[in-house]
Amino acid sequence: MPDLGPLKILELFSGIGGMHTALRISEVPGEVCAAIDINSVANEVYSHNYPNIKVLRKNIQKISPNMINKMGVNTILMSPPCQPFTRVGNKKDLDDKRCVPLAHILSILKELVHLRYVLVENVTGFETSEAGESLRVAVAAAGFDFREIMISPLQLGIPNSRERYYMIAVKKPLQFSLDIPARDELDGETVRSLLTAVSERKTPRCISDILHLSDDSSDYDQFLVPDDVLRKRAWILDIATKTSTKTCCYTKSYTHYIEGTGSVYCPFDQQFIQNAYETAKTMEQDSPEYLSCLQTLRLRFFTPTEVQRTLCFPDSFTYPPEITRKQKYRLLGNSINVEVVSRLIRIMTNSVET
C-alpha cells in the first residue's frame, strides 16, 4: 500500500458506530473526524463508546463540500437507510424521502478534494435499484474504481444469515491490489477467499460461541417466548441450539414481531425439539396440554449481548444505562456485521498506485 497517511473518516448514517468499530477491528490506521446520524438514541450509544468523537445529529443533505474538505476527509464510510429498498418500505427507491441524504452525498462527490476511499453497505436489492445505479454513476464520474460484493457472514463461518450489498471504491490512480471480479462473476467461494485472505481473526462459529445467558440463569425467564406466541406462532419459529451454525437475520423488530425478525434459542437438542413438536401436533391448539408441551422447550429470545456478538461487536461495546432492551434490539437490527466490514476496509485500503 502506498504511504498515503492514516484514514481521515467521515462516518455517515453512523448509527451506534458499527463502521467505527469495524475500523478498530481492522487495525487500519485512521481516525473518525465526525459521525453523523439523525437518530438521537443511536448517537447516545455512539458517544458512550467513543466519547472523543464528534457525533452530530444533523441532516446529511445540509453538509457542504467545504465542511468536508476543511476536515481533510479522505474516506467516507456509510450505511444509508435500507427501507427504500425493502418490501416493508414499499420499495419506493429514489421516491422515498429517506434517499435524499444519499442523493446529496453523491451529488457532491466530485467536489471532495481529499477523498480517496468510499465504502457503502446496504440491503440486498439495493444493487438493482435506481439508487444503486446512481451510486455507480456518481463514483465513476468522480474518478473512482469500484467493486460491488454481496456478502453473508455465513461465508466466514459466522452463524448468522445477513446477506448485504457492499461497494468499495478507490480514487484513481489507486487500484485494488487483490483481483476482485465483477459482482455478477463473484461466487460464494471467491468471496470467502477474498475475505479470509486479509484476516485470520477468530470469529463465532456456532451458537455456543455467542451465548451470554446460561441455561440455568436466574434471568432466563425474562427472555422466554411468550405463551401467546407459542400457542399461535410456534410453527414459524426458527429455532437454534448450541450446535447450530446458522441463525436468521435479526431486524429492528426482533421480539416485537415474530416472523422474519430473527431466531430463538432452545437449550435442548434437535431430537428433543422434534419430539416436542410431533407430540404437539396430536393436541388441540387451544388446549392446556398443547401449551405445556411447547413450554417444555424453554424457547427464549437471544439477549441483546448475544445478538451483538453475532454481529461481531466486542463485549467492550456497551450502552448507557438509560437505553432499554427494546431500544438495543432496534439499534442492533439497524446495524452492520462489523467483522465483514473490517475485512472490506482492509481490502479497500490495501490498494496500490498505477
Phi and psi, residue 353, nearest 5°: -85, 140
Distance CA 11, CA 18 (A): 10
Mean pLDDT of 230-234: 96
Shared fold status for 7-203+337-353 and 213-302: no
Point out the residues that are catalytic. 82
Cα dist from 180 to 60, 145, 173, 187, whole Å: 31, 11, 17, 11
Tell me what pLDDT residue 2 has: 47
Domain ranges of the chain: 7-203+337-353, 213-302
pTM, rounded to two decimals: 0.95
Tell me what pLDDT residue 1 has: 40
Mean pLDDT of 53-74: 96
Rounded to the nearest angstrom, the gap between the alpha carbon of residue 177 and the centroid of all alpha carbons in its chain is 26
- 354 pLDDT more than 90: no
User: In this structure, are strands 144-151 and 7-12 parallel, antiparallel, or unpaired?
Assistant: unpaired
- 87 pLDDT more than 70: no
Q: What is the pLDDT of residues 238-262, one digit of tens each?
A: 999 999 999 999 999 999 999 999 9
For 7-203+337-353, CATH gives: 3.40.50.150
Give the least confident one: 12-26, 53-67, 94-108: 94-108
Mean pLDDT of 142-150: 97
- 30 pLDDT more than 60: yes
Q: What is the pLDDT of residues 35-63, one digit of tens each?
A: 999 999 999 999 999 999 999 999 999 99
CATH of 213-302, one of 3.50.50.60, 3.55.40.20, 3.90.1150.10, 3.90.120.10: 3.90.120.10
> Taking a C-beta distance cutoff of 8 angstroms, is the pair 153, 179 a contact?
no
